[in-house]
Structure 1
Amino acid sequence: MGLLEDARNIQRKDPAARTVLEVILLYPGFHILVYHRVAHWLFEHKHFFLARWVSQRGRHKTGIEIHPGAKIGKCLFIDHGMGIVFGETAEIGDNCTIYHGVTLGGTGKDTGKRHPTLGNNVLIGAGTKVLGPVYIGDNARIGAGSVVLKNLPANCTAVGVPAEVVRINNKAVNPADDLDQQDLPDVMAQRLLDLDRRIGQLEKAAQGDIPPTAQQVAARQRKSLRT
């Protein structure tokens, strides 16, 4: 019943999926869930070699690599899926959506719990890398191409390299931001613009081209009155 509900969930979420049968027969995002169920059962029962063999067969067939030790909740929607990697200690909550090219990986420095944990209803955009034992809160949305290296709170939208929170509880962190999944701000570009503006101000100050502030004018007037 669990796999059937997973297939129905994919059919509900993907406008290109016309029937549940189409999902079951043709969707690699569903096929890898079948492989992972078998591999994870073998892993939990300490048949480690067989578990890895099944997971590698799934990788060969779908282009999606999920370590048999990873824990996946109900109704995971893997859209397209090619190039996805989930590490051994990754944990994914219920009703999550993950696009192609996503990595839930380690940093190479951690031991034990070394991969991310996702809460429920998390959406991760294409090409995103979530690295280390970080926690992504419920209902979080991560924009495509981001790199997440620290915990993210629930109900937030994050974007950038490294990822920064730009919206929480559907309210923009910066009032100028008006976000949705298709129109995310370019955090790096904004930083470069701010840096360029600051350099320009410093250059003008060095050349004496910036007009005095009101405080500077008042101080000069007081000085002239005293003299």
Structure 2
Amino acid sequence: MGFWSSVREDLRTVLELDPAARSKVEVAMTYPGLHAIWAHRIAHGLWKRNVKLVAKLLAQFSRWVTGIEIHPGAVVGNRVFIDHGFGVVIGETAIIGNDVTIYQGVTLGGTGKEKGKRHPTIGSDVLISAGAKVLGNITIGDCVKIGASSVVLNDVPSDSTVVGIPGRVVIRNGKRVKQHDLDHRLPDPDRECQERLENAVAELQHKLETLEKRMEEKTHDSAVQQSHE
């Protein structure tokens, strides 16, 4: 598919998916997610032709204008819709299928421990909600929904819904998986440290009270023994 054919298809996709979109002209001029996708297509073409410095410069300019960072090496499919999109980051070796919707704050990143293919592969017909993080060389199947602020670190089978930190499958093939006590809160190191200190103080206090009680009993027994003598 040629560049302009892809542009027309992108415009149709936004008009179908976004009820706030009123016209092709409005979408083409005011949707930063589309601008980032269009800039990426040019940058990716340059990247494949080994014009990597120019590709990186174009990607950096696009990030500055749109607030969306897509590495020129990433492979992005057709009809990918980045809605709002501010803070979206897509890594170099990420692969995104067709008909994928990505909301603001999403990261398709690495874990910092891998080389080579270090970013996720996203299937087709996938919805990645706001703030979700999909990290590492993992595979997300087709028709997957990833909940807001989820952190996905493992492969996800097709036709699934994932939520939580870390991400867990809660619906698969339309059926609810085993119930989980989901905790969407991020770790609080200060609170955890305070709880450990409070537990340690309580344990020391209990030991001190026990020791004092034993000493009182020993003193009492000694006094009774002396009175008998």
Q: Aligned-pair distance for 1:19?
A: 1.0
| 2:141 aligned to which of 107, 131, 137 | 137
CA deviations 1:157-199 (Å, max 9, x no partner) are 010000000000111113x6xxxxxxxx86127xxxxxxxxxx
- From 99, 108, 120, give the equivalent of 1:104: 108
Matched to 2:21, the amino acid is: A
In structure 1, stretches of 5+ residues that fail to align are 177-184, 190-227
Partner of 1:155: 159
Structure 2 residue 191 is matched with structure 1 residue 187: no
1:181 aligns with none
Query: Is 1:58 paired with 2:62?
Result: yes
Q: In structure 2, which of residues 65, 71, 74 is the aligned counterpart of residue 70 of structure 1?
A: 74
2:158 maps to a residue whose letter is: A
Q: How far off its partner does 1:12 sit?
A: 0.9
Q: What TM-score results when the alignment is normalised by the length of structure 2?
A: 0.77
When residues 7 and 63 of structure 1 are mapped into structure 2, their CA distance, relative to the original with a 3 A threshold, is: same
Q: Paired residue for 1:89?
A: 93
Amino acid at match of 1:16: A
Query: For the residues of structure 1 that align with 2:39 and 2:81, how far apart are their CA atoms?
Result: 15
Q: List aligned pairs for 1:4-83, cutoff 5 A.
A: 4-83=8-87
Cα deviation digits, residues 113-134 of structure 1 (max 9, x gap): 0000000000001000000011
Residue 215 of structure 1 corresponds to none
| CA root-mean-square deviation | 1.2
Question: Percent identity among equivalent residues?
Answer: 52
- TM-score, normalised with respect to structure 1: 0.77
The SS at the match of 1:165 is: strand
Question: Contact 1:160–1:186 at 8 Å: present in 2 too?
Answer: no
Which amino acid counterpart does residue 158 of structure 1 have in structure 2?
Answer: V
SS in 2 for 1:53: helix
Q: Distance in 2 between matches of 1:186 and 1:119?
A: 28
Higher deviation after alignment, 18-27 or 152-161: 18-27
Instruction: Give unpaired runs (5+ residues) of structure 2.
Output: 185-229
Q: 1:45 to 1:126 in 2, by over 3 A?
A: same
Deviation per residue, 1:189-220 (Å, 9 max, x gap): 7xxxxxxxxxxxxxxxxxxxxxxxxxxxxxxx
Number of matched pairs: 180
* Separation (CA, whole Å) in 1 of partners of 2:130 and 2:106: 6
CA displacement at 1:34 relative to structure 2:
1.1
Q: Distance in 2 between matches of 1:3 and 1:86?
A: 20
Please say which structure displays the higher CA radius of gyration: 2
Q: Alpha carbons of 1:42 and 1:186: their partners in 2 closer, same or farther (altered >3 Å)?
A: farther
